[in-house]
C-alpha cells in the first residue's frame, strides 16, 4: 500500500482526489452527497481518520451503500484498522 500511496502522491492523483473531496463537501452544502463516497475517497488516499468520520456519517444516515462495504475493493487501505471491523459489526455484515 505504501507504494500505491507514493505513486498517487508523485503522480498528482492524490491531490486530484483531495480536490474532488473538497468539491463534494462544498456541493453537500446545497445537495445530497453520499458520505459513503466521501469516505471512499479519503480511504483511497490513506486518510483513515477522515474516511471513518464520513463512513460513520453514512452509518448514522442508514446509507444503503454500506451494504457494499464488505465486497468493495476501495476499503483495502482501511481494512486493518479496528474501526473497519467495528463498522462491519455495527452494520450487521459478516466479519
Q: What pLDDT sits at residue 63?
A: 94
- Lookup: cell for 1: 500500500
Q: What b-and-e string marks burial along 34-45, b requiring 16 or more CB atoms within 10 Å of the CB?
A: bbbbbbbbbbbb
* Run means of pLDDT, 10 residues per run, the chain, 95 residues: 53 84 93 94 92 96 90 82 93 84
According to the model, what pLDDT value does residue 10 have? 60
pLDDT of residue 1: 43
What DSSP character marks residue 68?
G
CA angle (87, 7, 33) in 5-degree steps: 40
Q: What pLDDT is recorded for position 70?
A: 85
Amino acid at each position: 500500500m505504501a507504494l500505491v500511496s507514493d505513486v498517487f502522491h508523485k503522480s498528482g492523483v492524490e491531490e486530484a482526489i483531495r480536490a474532488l473531496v473538497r468539491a463534494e463537501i462544498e456541493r453537500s452544502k446545497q445537495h445530497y452527497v453520499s458520505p459513503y463516497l466521501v469516505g471512499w475517497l479519503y480511504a483511497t488516499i490513506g486518510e483513515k481518520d477522515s474516511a471513518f468520520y464520513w463512513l460513520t456519517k453514512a452509518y448514522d444516515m442508514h446509507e444503503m451503500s454500506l451494504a457494499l462495504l464488505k465486497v468493495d475493493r476501495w476499503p483495502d487501505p482501511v481494512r486493518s484498522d479496528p474501526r473497519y471491523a467495528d463498522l462491519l459489526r455495527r452494520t450487521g455484515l459478516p466479519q
